[in-house]
Amino acid sequence: MLSIGKCRLVEVLELVGKGKIDYALKVAENIEDELWRSVAFAKMVDWLVDAPEEALRVAKNITNSYWRSQALYKVAGGFVNSGDLEKALKIAERLTHPYWRSVTLVEVAKGFIKLGKPETALEILNIALKVAESIEDERWKAVALVKVAEGFAELGLEGKALEIAEKVNFGGWKRKITSGVRSRKHLRS
């Protein structure tokens, strides 16, 4: 049996699918359970990332820290895809959850790489690395370091990416970084 919060979540998603964003917002605002309300707003953001301003408006309603950070990561990605890297960077800088902050910074840095601004990308990647290194949970830290290493490799700094791989102490993630960097080097040769 579905909880009331989950039923309201389904209703919100149906409304968003029909383009009734303002009505979906009202329904989501009236979900009593804070977690389900946050999930509803976060799922609305998923549907709206191609309209990042609208997605940002929805994300501001999320009270749960994890879901808010995840949603803002997606909003920042929407701004990166639309070419508004400065707005994406501002979002990344405000994130408090270290995993989401680091991976968001990496996505912004990749946007600057594509724009032909490697110095800016490098500066952002160095910040992302410091944030990733501060993550206490080894699993989340490993995933964040993989993303940061991919950013450095994309910038052409394979040596730095391999150096980051040495910091990974969880599962097969170190191997994922090193094999990815080596295959990238092979393609560039």
Q: Which domains does the chain have, with CATH numbers?
A: 1-81 (1.25.40), 97-189 (1.25.40.10)
- Of the chain, the end-to-end C-alpha distance in Å amounts to 58
pLDDT for 130 equals 98
Residue 141 clears pLDDT 70, i.e. is over it:
yes
DSSP, collapsed to helix, strand or coil, labels residue 168 as: coil
Tokens at 18, concatenated: 């029909």
Tens of pLDDT, residue by residue over 79-94, are 999 999 999 999 999 9
Tens of pLDDT, residue by residue over 89-133, are 999 999 989 999 999 999 999 999 999 999 999 999 999 999 999
Q: How far is CA 186 from CA 95, 166, 179, 189, in A?
A: 36, 20, 10, 5
pLDDT for 176 equals 64
pLDDT band at 2 (very low <50, low <70, confident <90, very high): low
Tokens at 33, concatenated: 């359970």
Read off φ and ψ for residue 155, nearest 5 degrees: -80, -10
Type of residue found at 33: D
Rounded Cα distance between 98 and 65, Å, is 11
Rounded Cα distance between 121 and 87, Å, is 15
Residue 7 clears pLDDT 70, i.e. is over it:
yes
